[in-house]
Amino acid sequence: MLWFFGAIGGLLISALSFLMGRMFAQSEAILDEKRRIYEEFLRACPKPNDAYAAAAEGNSDARFERMGEVQSVLALYAAPNVALAVKHYFEAFGEADGLLTETSPPRHPAFLKAAKAHNDLILEMRRDALSWSAFSYHGKSRLP
């Protein structure tokens, strides 16, 4: 009779181990996809310095069109703070894009605002995508 309870206990532990393994494997797969989407978005996303050259090149629409292709997938995976940081960066970059020209001073307030918003976006992405890693950002959020 004792062997019966041992067999049932072993079966329960095996089933629990299997389910926990599936949960962790799925979580890892989602985190890997998040990292990939965040990297892809950051590559497509205009950098704060791009606001200085936008007027001369006249390619502002092309930049946002390229970024829009990645943005819909980003919305699927992004944590709420990342989505908020994206919104703040778009606002700050749009303002800088409209104000800055090639002759604007290097540390124009609109550029500094866009640069800070870009850094905040990266920090929030790092906090979200690397949350279980030693490389995660554990500081206080700088979002307003």
pTM above 0.85, yes or no: no
Residue 34, C-beta contacts closer than 8 angstroms, at least 6 positions apart: 77, 78, 128, 129
Q: Can you give the pLDDT at residue 63?
A: 66
Question: pLDDT by residue (tens digit) across 49-103?
Answer: 888 876 555 566 666 677 777 788 888 889 999 999 999 999 999 899 888 888 8
Question: pLDDT by residue (tens digit) across 28-49?
Answer: 788 888 889 999 999 888 899 8
For the chain, give the percent of residues with pLDDT over 70: 81
Cα(121)–Cα(116) distance, integer angstroms: 9
Closest by Cα among 128, 23, 143, 118 to 74: 128
Q: Can you give the pLDDT at residue 83?
A: 93
pLDDT(131) > 70: yes
Q: Can you give the pLDDT at residue 82?
A: 94
